[in-house]
Amino acid sequence: MNGLMRVRSTCLGVAASGLLAAALLAPSAAAGPLYRYIDERGVIHFTDAPTDSRFDPINPEAEDEQRSPRAYDGVITLVARLQDVPPALVKAVIRTESNFNRLAVSPKGAQGLMQLMPATAQKLGVEDPFESFQNVEGGVRYLRRLIDRYGNWRLALAAYNAGPTAVDRYGGIPPYRETQQYVKKVLSYYARYDADFAR
């Protein structure tokens, strides 16, 4: 990249997300980490040569800080804004699902930061569920679909945890202790992380 790029987040549609990701993140593996910050007008600034302390890395693997609570804020911000999902909500899901461990695997086989089941990852076109951008991008697209389907976060989160079939069967949050606790936990983390992201 060798310089600064500016993108107004509100002008980017869903179709542009894959192209933007390829253009921004593919070169970073060879050229070094990519950095971003969002200014007061909502414009996302990218660079591979930061000269301003407001820039944060969006290639956490290169920074070797995978378990840091702030390590994935750049990826989260980029993907969340492209999908019109609050970044703090995405971060809360990641905290609840994997505790920021991009290599996490659940006993049921869910993988990566947002704990995508292999079949779900395949449907979403996620080729490597342990690569942070692919996992978060796929997971947020899925979360966006659930929000659109149910019209509110609580039911969307319940469906993310227990599956849409369970939510549809019970006409609301299923009477599963795990799912009920999951929804409460994510919303609690959301309140905690809301201040981490610029408006």
Average pLDDT value for the chain: 82
Return all residues near 134 (Cβ < 8 A) that are at least 6 apart: 126, 127, 128
Q: Is the pLDDT of residue 20 over 50?
A: yes
Residue 83, amino acid: Q
Give yes or no for residue 19 having a pLDDT over 50: no
**Interstrand relation of 4-8 and 43-47 (parallel, antiparallel or unpaired):** antiparallel
How many domains would you assign to the chain? Answer: 1
pLDDT of residue 196: 85
Q: What is the pLDDT of residues 74-88, one digit of tens each?
A: 999 999 999 999 999
pLDDT(21) > 70: no
Range of the domain at 166: 4-196
Task: Please report which confidence band the pLDDT of residue 57 belongs to, taking 50, 70 and 90 as the band edges.
Answer: low
Q: What percent of the chain has pLDDT over 90?
A: 61
Q: What is the mean pLDDT of residues 180-196?
A: 95
CATH of the domain at 171: 1.10.530.10
Catalytic pick among 40, 65, 97, 178? 97
Per residue in 148-179, pLDDT tens? Answer: 999 999 999 999 999 999 999 999 999 999 99
Where is pLDDT greater, at 21 or 159? Answer: 159
Mark whether 97 is an active-site residue: yes
pLDDT at 7 > cutoff 90? no
Burial 83-103 (b: 16+ CB within 10 A, else e): bebbbbbbbbbbbbbbebebe
Sign for the pseudo-dihedral over CA of 161, 163, 166, 168:
positive
